[in-house]
Amino acid sequence: MFDVKQDDALGPKFSCFQLDDYVGAMPRWCPGCGDHAVLGSLQRLARDEQLPPEKTVVVSGIGCSSRFPHYMKTYGFHGLHGRPLPVACGVRARRPDLHVFVVTGDGDCCAIGTAHWIHAIRYNMKMTVLLLDNNIYGLTKMQSSPTTPRGWKSNTHPDGSLLEPLNPLLVTLSIANASFVAQTVDWSPGHVYATLRTAHRHEGLSFVRILQRCPHYMDRAFTSLQEDPTLVQMLTHPDGIEATPAVLKQFENQIEHDPADLDEAREIAARTDVFPIGLFHRNENLPSYDEFAVSGLGMTAEEKLDGIQQQIDRFLV
């Protein structure tokens, strides 16, 4: 049975996949964890975009957020700590027909996975990367992460974190060939959904940082932003994230920012007086490693063996 659904951008369309088609195992995150809201938004996106489950893959590393593949009824790969991006690039290289999502955390991506993060941004292969940033190592029980605020007490820094936190947005915006950089907050599911939809439709690597609450180990980290919404500044622009009236009402502190202006994007990302959300940068005209990675996909088994033999023959003495 087919249902007719209404899509604001595309108009009426037929829907055969329902939300239950994307709901996997029961999530084992703590009650109140921001991961729940992100999972719901991704499942809703998959339904609304009608992504075939057998053509969708979620890749993760290690951490609380990296349990995502277990909770999506799609293909998934729960990888090693810090290694989801090279795995995802490999998947994309051999299966360009798949919709690829990467879910990583601030420890997984910004510490042990830093080199992979930098080069995946450079490669600009089509995939949607979600950095769920709760400013702490949650799965291993409250160690400081690269994004932990200075002075915050943790099990590795009982007297307070010594260094200023790394800014994932500034890092990403400084990497050559970065084509899509956005930011959102988990307590606004409407903005999370709109951001993920825009990111998924981008032809290149979309990097989305999501400020994600950890009620157990970082229960006060983002309280001020929730109690005073004016501290969250939403970026608006016709080429940015399309927000609903409800989201616009939620964040009344707004400025217009053209995502094509990379210098201004960096200036906004560096601000500490407000927490900006929205689309910082988008460039659809940058090269993608997809163009090179598909080489040889149409070869027969005999052609592949012949190619291997030719390479071996080059080293004959």
pLDDT, one tens digit per residue, over 308-317 is 999 999 988 7
Number of compact structural domains in the chain = 1
User: 10-residue block means of pLDDT along the chain (317 residues)?
Assistant: 46 74 94 95 97 97 94 96 96 96 95 96 98 90 88 86 94 97 97 98 97 88 90 97 94 97 98 96 96 86 91 88
User: Is 134 in contact with 105 (CB distance < 8 Å)?
Assistant: yes
CB-count burial class (<10 Å; 0-12, 13-18, 19+) for 172: buried
d(CA 102, CA 108): 12
Helix (H, G, I), strand (E, B) or coil at 279: strand
Summarize pLDDT for 285-296 with one digit per residue, the tens. 999 999 888 888
Q: What is the pLDDT of residue 12?
A: 47
Is residue 202 a contact partner of residue 222, using CB atoms and an 8 Å limit?
A: no
**CATH code of residue 305:** 3.40.50.970
The predicted pLDDT at position 135 comes to: 87
Q: How is residue 155 written in tokens?
A: 């099990």
Pair of tokens at residue 3? 């249902």
Tell me the whole-structure pTM to 2 decimals: 0.90
The answer to whether the CB of 13 falls within 8 A of the CB of 7 is yes
- Tell me the residue type at 175: I
- In contact, 86 and 113? CB cutoff 8 Å: no
CA distances in angstroms from 253 to 74, 229, 261, listed in the order given: 38, 8, 20
Strands 136-137 and 143-144: antiparallel
| Domain range for 147 | 3-313
